[in-house]
Amino acid sequence: KIFTIQSHESNIVQLVDLLIGAISYKARNDIEHVSEIKNYIINKIETLANIELDAGTPPWENKFNIFRIQLSKGEQ
């Protein structure tokens, strides 16, 4: 069953949002990473999880996986 919730109603949704935001920010190569708070959060996550958020993880990794994929726009 799928339903809509407000993110402030769920700590899990907030945590997932934080992790996705950190991974996305670190993976972007088109911006300068000048936000001190974002860089602090990324460094904290990487230290606690002992992973690099922009490096990906092997598929057999327990608890947390980051899959790096390269999508191409194709010919237009």
Q: What is the 3-state composition of the chain as percent helix, strand, coil, each rounded to the nearest 5?
A: 45, 0, 55
Assess contact for 22 and 45: CB atoms under 8 A.
yes
The string of pLDDT tens digits covering residues 35-54 is 999 999 999 999 998 888 88
- The whole-number pLDDT of residue 11 equals 92
The answer to whether residue 75 sits within a structural domain is no
The answer to whether residue 35 sits within a structural domain is yes
53: phi then psi, degrees, rounded to nearest 5 = -65, -20
Based on its alpha-carbon atoms, the radius of gyration of the chain, rounded to whole angstroms, reads 15
The answer to whether residue 64 sits within a structural domain is yes
The string of pLDDT tens digits covering residues 14-36 is 999 999 999 999 989 899 999 99
| Number of domains composing the chain | 1
Question: Could you give the CA distance from residue 45 to residue 5 in angstroms, rounded to a whole number?
Answer: 26
- The whole-model pTM stands at 0.73
Q: Which domain holds residue 47?
A: 1-70
The answer to whether residue 11 sits within a structural domain is yes
The answer to whether residue 7 sits within a structural domain is yes
